[in-house]
Amino acid sequence: MVDTVPLSATRAATTPTRRLAARLTGIRLPRRLIQLYVGLVCYGASSALMVRARLGLDPWDVFHQGLARRLGLPIGWLVIGVGVLVLLLWIPLRQRPGLGTISNAVLIGLALDATLQVVPAPDPLWLRWVLLLTGVALNGVATGMYIGARFGPGPRDGLMTGLAARGHSVRVVRTGIELMVLAAGFLLGGQVGFGTLIYAVSIGPLAHLMIPLWTVPAPAVAGQRTG
């Protein structure tokens, strides 16, 4: 059964709601921007901590590090370069980048290199483990922050969602991409170790916990009620 409401009454009811939604959007936008950029900086810093730990990296950073060792370039610049190349793969997938996508492609690499400049590589094994575990935990928080800001996925995540949108399983696509990237990085000389395994088994549960925690809710706009 559909409730019958006069059009004028519907407009009168929804106009204040839309105004409230617009005000809430304006209020939440600064928070979303701050959360986005703090999250991306923390993401780059977390990658740098794992690099300094020298106990293994996540699959994409194994690839970035392998390229850096082959080409003699800073790893952060290669994070940016690979991100731009991955964005080109969005074109046939008809994915549209958002502010978060472009910011992700640039800022994470810069934050990674900046953190490497101020965080030395420790020698004691226990301290390397502290850096590794801190890096993995911070990466989970950073993932929740930048995705929860709702400005669009990063280049690599967008590639995954674009392929999944063509009818493939997200799990299969994600696993396939990361295995290929990991294998390529290992062959290039990237560091694979216990940290790689710890990241692989931890990042999913961490992201599952942190993304809802950090997601900024979109203002709801009331429409016509059906029943």
Query: What is the greatest pairwise CA distance in the chain?
Result: 74
Give pLDDT tens digits along the chain (227 positions): 444 444 454 454 455 545 544 444 556 889 999 999 999 999 999 999 999 999 999 999 999 999 999 999 999 999 999 999 999 988 888 888 899 999 999 999 999 999 999 999 999 999 999 999 999 999 999 999 998 999 988 898 888 878 877 887 777 887 888 899 999 999 999 999 999 999 988 888 998 899 899 999 876 654 544 44
100-132 burial, b for 16+ CB within 10 Å, e for fewer? bbbbbbebbbbbbbebbeeeeeeeeeeebbebb
Token look-up 């009168």 returns: 12
CA-CA distance, 152 to 145, in Å (whole number)?
12
The vertex-177 CA angle with 209 and 64, nearest 5°, equals: 90
pLDDT score at 7: 47
